[in-house]
Amino acid sequence: MGIIKAAASAVSGALADQWLEVIEADNMGDQTVFTKGVAVRKGSNTKGTENTVSNGSVIHVYPNQFMMLVDGGKVVDYTAEEGYYTVNNSSLPSLFNGQFGDTLKESFNRIKYGGVTPASQKVYYVNLQEIKGIKFGTRNPINYFDTFYNSELFLRAHGTYSIKITDPLLFYAEVIPKNADKVEIDSVNEQYLDEFLEALQSSINQMSADGTRISFVSSKARELGKYMADTLDEDWKRMRGIEIQSVGLASVSYDEESQKLINMRNQGAMLSDPSVREGYVQGAVARGMEAAGSNANGAMAGFMGMGMGMNAGGGFMGAASASNMQQMQMQQSAQPRAAAAPAGSWTCSCGAVNTGKFCSECGKPAPAPAGTWTCSCGAVNSGKFCSECGKPAPAPSGEWTCSCGAVNTGKFCSECGKPRQ
């Protein structure tokens, strides 16, 4: 008994009436991993038994479906290729491997039809889509040694993960309960969830060994998925034909003692900053004065009590404040100062500091020094005549030179009184 591929035109055209039955998968939701095939159209075989697939019937296989033809509890043929197939009781198995290539041959040899007399013939489908939204949650806190906090902490994790069936024949043989017609992932997930949580703890411990801070775990879902795949995939593929696709962490929380340790460490880190510590000291003084002013026995009694307290603890508060100020001054003096520009250097408009005649970054020439002028021969001068070619300096804008040699800016020469020509 086997299947042969049918022409789509024959199935959809007038020849479709020749088929005895048309079979396709029963309703397959996103959590369905396995379901039986149902007859969507009855043909002329009205006397056939319920558990017999009539010779010449048509089987529909849609994308992301793996179809198996089962006879007497044994898989006698299968296909991972979408299309139309006809049942041929006289043919040998065709074994359309599709996307799986030769990987299914070994699995088929383990569970194939054993030669017994057929007693029941059925069509089954395995869902090849990613099965998403499988919920998980740690029952007990998971220990996590954090090198940053230098402490053994404990966390809880909740979220979802997804799987994908990589060997449907092995999955059918090892996972699907006997005589089941439809299987949802939740009905077979109890044992796998225990194994998943065990692998989750191993993976989280590996993240700890790799030095990942505990506060970063919730943002490392992709890395955690890779750890999980390394831990589980080899066994799950070999034993059940499935693998982890992704892990999504909805929440990561700490137990009460771990939260206290984290808060204490963070507070200590903040108070190691003298400016924060000084603010804390000043705030404590301000809160004391506010409490004294609202004393139930009167503000005077409150301030008297505060004065006594200040006499007792003022020395400590003053010393702490002085220490804070000293540390802040030391930090400010330790800050690197900007290095002074080398003598004779100039800053280009592009921001580069140079000492030569041209910018080392953009090639622009150095600007002329203040009070100098550039002759047409290229020489830079500060006197009235060019030191290279002897040409006189150009008159400033708005100036003119009288015939007597005086340089003027007005309408008349300031030396001889001649009007501007």
Q: In CATH, what number is assigned to the domain containing residue 240? A: 3.30.479.30
**Residue that is last in its domain, among 254, 285, 301:** 254
Range of the domain at 410: 385-421
Q: Are residues 25 and 123 in the same domain?
A: yes
Residue 236 lies in a domain: yes
From 10-19, 76-85, 229-238, the region with the lowest mean pLDDT: 10-19
Of 68-77, 95-104, 112-121, 125-134, which one has max mean pLDDT?
A: 125-134
234 within some domain: yes
Burial 8-27 (b: 16+ CB within 10 A, else e): eeebeeeebeebbbbbbbbe
Structure token pair of residue 134? 């499988």
**Is the pLDDT at 116 greater than 50, yes or no?**
no
Contact in structure between 252 and 219 (CB atoms under 8 Å): no
Residues 143 and 107 in one domain: no
pLDDT band with cut points at 50, 70 and 90 for residue 123: very high
DSSP label at 385? B
Predicted confidence (pLDDT) at residue 338 exceeds the cutoff of 50: no
Question: Average pLDDT of 205-217?
Answer: 83
Of 77 and 11, the one with more pLDDT: 77
Q: Which of 318, 237, 242 is nearest to 284 (CA)?
A: 318
Query: Does 66 score more than 90 pLDDT?
Result: yes
Using DSSP, state whether 141 is helix, strand or coil: coil
Whether 359 is covered by a domain: the verdict is no
Percent of the chain topping pLDDT 90 = 11
Residue of 155, 154, 153, 157 lying closest to 138 (CA atoms): 157
CA distances (Å), 227 to each of 43, 199, 374, in order?
52, 9, 71
Regarding whether 139 and 115 lie in a shared domain, the answer is: no
Q: Do residue 141 and residue 240 come from a single domain?
A: yes
Per-residue pLDDT at 114:
40
Domain end, chosen from 97, 127, 157, is at 127
Residue 209 lies in a domain: yes
Question: Taking a C-beta distance cutoff of 8 angstroms, is the pair 71, 113 a contact?
Answer: yes
Q: Are 122 and 6 in the same domain?
A: yes
